[in-house]
Amino acid sequence: MSKSPIALFDSHIHLDDPRYADTLPVLMENAKARGVIGAIIPGTVASAFTNITSITQQYPNCYGAYGLHPYFMAMHTESDLEIVEQYLKKGHAVAVGECGLDAMIDADMDAQLALFKAHIRLALEYDLPLIIHTRKTVDLVLKEIRKHPNLRGVFHSFSGSIQQAEIIRQHNFLMGFGGPVTFDRAQKLQRLVKHLTLDDFVLETDGPFQAGSHRINDLHYPEDLRNIAEYVATLRGDSLESLSHATTTNTKHLFKL
């Protein structure tokens, strides 16, 4: 009996990044040749939303999310949240985000928290999952999530503890893993990935950011999801077929694709 073809789904990639613009058709074909069948494109700033929508129209298996990333707090205006909601009203968004909290940047945490709560409100109102960014803020984010049992979503590029992961599992959220797990120094993260079940996580590149160990000094490409999947499958002792099937199923279920 022949093996099923590998079908991977990138749960988080910034295809709207200008560094992809000139070669995106080729990059998408290369990814398809390596078994990548779709992608979620998270928003970061309101000015990028038009481009995200354009890409999703060009590539049927790419889907847009709309949100305001905490890293760009200085760029966001009060009207940007209204723009997010305008895109949600159109009915094409599969998630709210990328949003969250970041303790590693010079931005007021109270202001970040107010913006994050606004994204939570929109996710609940439009019955959409959240794509959450956390850096040194997992407990703060969990404090807010606990208040809303109906919330669901994904902790993108999760790097927290096993104890935090157990709480996340209990609150309808998945965890996303990508390039960082492939480095030898990431032993804590690797232990976490081995601890989880196949139902608990999704795969991502976060391209062009957070390249894996195979591209230390290079741009991170959509096709690199295959390298990440192969690494995680070997790490866990799973077959690539079972890992790809589970993580793609998890992604499709979370984003209702």
Q: Which residues contact 169 (CB under 8 A, 6 or more apart)?
A: 196, 200
User: Shortest CA distance to 236 belongs to which of 200, 172, 192?
Assistant: 192
Is 171 annotated as a binding-site member? Answer: no
Q: Which residues pair with 174 in a beta bridge?
A: 154
Q: Is 206 known to sit in a ligand binding site?
A: yes
37 secondary structure, DSSP code:
E
Q: CB atoms < 10 A from the CB of 154, how many? A: 28
Q: Is residue 156 part of an annotated ligand binding site?
A: yes
14 is in an annotated binding site: yes
Is 92 one of the annotated binding-site residues?
A: no
Helix residue ranges, H only, the chain: 24-33, 49-58, 80-89, 109-125, 138-145, 162-169, 187-195, 225-236, 240-254
> How far is it, in rounded angstroms, from Cα 195 to Cα 160?
13
- Residue length of the chain: 257
Q: Give the whole-angstrom CA distance, residue 156 versus residue 174.
A: 9
> Annotated binding site for a divalent metal cation, which residues?
12, 14, 98, 133, 156, 206
> Annotated binding site, which residues?
12, 14, 98, 133, 156, 206
